[in-house]
Structure 1
Amino acid sequence: MKRLIGILLPIFLATQLWADNKEIIMFGVRKTPKVTTKSIEEAFTLAGYKVEGNRDMNGPFKKQFGDTVFRIYNLMTVYYPDATKALVRRHEEAGVFAPFSVVIYQKKGDDTIYAGVLSAFAKAKIMGLPFDHKVLQALEERNVATLLKAMPGAKKVVFDYTPKPLTKEPLTRFSLESDPEEWEDFKEEVEMIIEDGLKPIGFVMANFLDYNYFLKEAGIDTYLFYDTYSLCKLKVIYTVSKIRPEAGVFAPCTMAIYQKKGEDRMKMVYPNVYNWMATLALEDEQSLKELEKAQADILELLEQTAE
């Protein structure tokens, strides 16, 4: 009996430990013709979300790298208007989740389809907000309800690892002096440098959003402009997803570029790859190498805007 307890106790403790992963919310259900990437997108649309894209990454995986471990791998970028406006109005850096990502995948040989998002806890950690932030908590409840409606009978995934502590800054911040009277020309010049520099370093712009348009529609006239760029490097998500398919909750990463009225600084902010490393508890050398390179390349590109 003592031996049985000795065997079961580590298993119990490990299960409790794994169940404590508070950073990724993932559901899985048996794949049927009624549960598809399109039906999941439709569920989010019906729930009031704006779906900016629902991209099949599996085709590009096969085309660029010659193989894939997935039958389905989609990255869907969405935002919920009321929540996003409330966040950006009070927290200028919240545009890094305007939009945010929903990953949808099914591995070869597996009859389960999965879909998931970053939790309110993880988003709060990245943005430096209270973990019980009411807007983020309400958005998480809506995310969960929408996923469960899209995937009837789905069960929450318990991961076999726990996130590591984040040892570096979750966000990279960059700013440039910008004359409030001539911001339009300067904005165009800076964004052109960024857009032209993406392809040579292996990035694509998955989505662009003039978010200030929606802020003004809501009577929020705080910014001269507020743009968001959703950026993705195929080699990064291809490499990391083989180890951690749920990595798609981070991809594409959204960079916010904005300037407040009355201020003479244009600001740029985006989530660092260190969030991936910590939340996904990555130890795979190739994954870490690709993430570090992506971080260095984007930082170098932003520094070129100051030259």
Structure 2
Amino acid sequence: MKKITFLLAIILSLIFANEEIIIYKSKVNITPQKIEEIFIKEGYSVQTNRDMNGPYKKQFGKSEFDIYNLMTVYYPKITKELVLKDADSGIFAPFSIVIWKKKENKYIHMGVLSAKAKAKILGFDFDDKLLAELEKKNIETIKKALPNAKRVNLSYKPKPIKEKLKTKYVFEVADDEAMDTKDELEMMIEDGLKPIGFVMANFNDYNYDLKEAGIKDFIFYDTYSLCKLKVIYTVSKIRPEAGVFAPCTMAIYQKRGTNKMVIVFPNIYNWISTLNINDENAIKELKKAQKDMINVIENSLP
């Protein structure tokens, strides 16, 4: 059995040059709203399903797409187990699924990060069973949404990169002061991000889900889905699949008994690496977004 699994892995690596992004396409006539309904029916929590064409046309005067939606979702059971294994996993609560159809193109596409990509960001072993289980569920649901869908083989491989793939701040906060500190911190971050072009696509009190499941490990666990319109517009023109990274989820949490608050989010270097971006303008916009994000957080820390 191990030999068969190994051989299948080799075959897939030869077929799919980029194993970090999973994309399917189909000629099926379906709307993003119907896709959302299918994901909800399959047990996902759909946080947002944002049509980006309107903002693209309003801010930049044009769009190359008939459809370009960013849908943020998570699968409660597996996400809960991931967060219990490693609290930083909340950066995928929610994660993004991109839905697009280019003008004068018959195919609608759906893309999501693979288990391997998520493991790379989190630092897990690449064969983590929970991530593999989530990937299997994602693929099954995408196929239900897009009948007769075919897997797309991207023409490029991820490129190596030296920079860290997630940014993390850990700082001392007494447990009995955590909620007040959190409220002030989040208000300052929100106020700082608005003037520099970031949009808060979604806020999720993820600790509510945990408490509903009887888990009281955290004083609080909040996630913010953040998107900078100019970044996704610039990158999606050369890599429509870039939507697998947008919006980016920032997790802010504090475990009971630790007296430590944590802020963590994936870096833009994931985009540059996984999407093999070489376009200077796109890289400039990505690096500026990373720098702006860090400045806002560091100016907000207690």
Structure 1 length normalisation: TM-score? Answer: 0.92
Counterpart pick for 1:199 among 194, 197, 201: 194
State the shift of 1:17 in Å: 5.5
Counterpart pick for 2:234 among 193, 216, 239: 239
Is 1:30 the counterpart of 2:31? The answer is no
Q: 1:61-76 alignment to 2 at 5 Å?
A: 61-76=56-71
Query: What do residues 210-230 of structure 1 show as CA deviations (whole Å, max 9, x unaligned)?
Result: 111111111211111100000
Post-superposition, which runs of at least 4 consecutive aligned residues in structure 1 deviate over 6 A?
none
Distance 1:16 1:205, change over 3 A: closer
State the shift of 1:305 in Å: 1.5
Which shows bigger deviation, 18-27 or 262-271? 18-27
Q: If you compute each CA radius of gyration, which structure gives the higher value, 1 or 2?
A: 1
State the shift of 1:183 in Å: 1.3
Q: Decide whether the 8 Å contact of 2:157 with 2:274 is kept in 1.
A: yes
Match of 2:104 in 1: 109
Match of 1:278 in 2: 273
Query: What do residues 141-192 of structure 1 show as CA deviations (whole Å, max 9, x unaligned)?
Result: 1100000011001100001111111321111011232121111111111000
Over the matched positions of the two proteins, sequence identity in percent amounts to 58
Match of 1:140 in 2: 135
Match of 1:5 in 2: none
Q: Distance in 2 between matches of 1:63 and 1:112?
A: 25
Return the letter of the residue paired with 1:277.
I
Q: Distance in 2 between matches of 1:262 and 1:16?
A: 44
Match of 2:8 in 1: none
Q: Decide whether the 8 Å contact of 1:93 with 1:269 is kept in 2.
A: yes
SS at 1:104's partner residue?
strand
SS at 1:182's partner residue?
helix
Query: What do residues 48-105 of structure 1 show as CA deviations (whole Å, max 9, x unaligned)?
Result: 0010110000110000000111111000000000011000011010000000000000
Is 1:20 the counterpart of 2:25? The answer is no
State the shift of 1:306 in Å: 2.5
Q: Decide whether the 8 Å contact of 2:25 with 2:108 is kept in 1.
A: yes
- Gapped regions of structure 2 (runs ≥ 5): 1-11
SS at 2:271's partner residue?
helix
SS at 2:176's partner residue?
coil
- Gapped regions of structure 1 (runs ≥ 5): 1-14
Return the letter of the residue paired with 1:167.
K
Is 1:249 the counterpart of 2:236? The answer is no
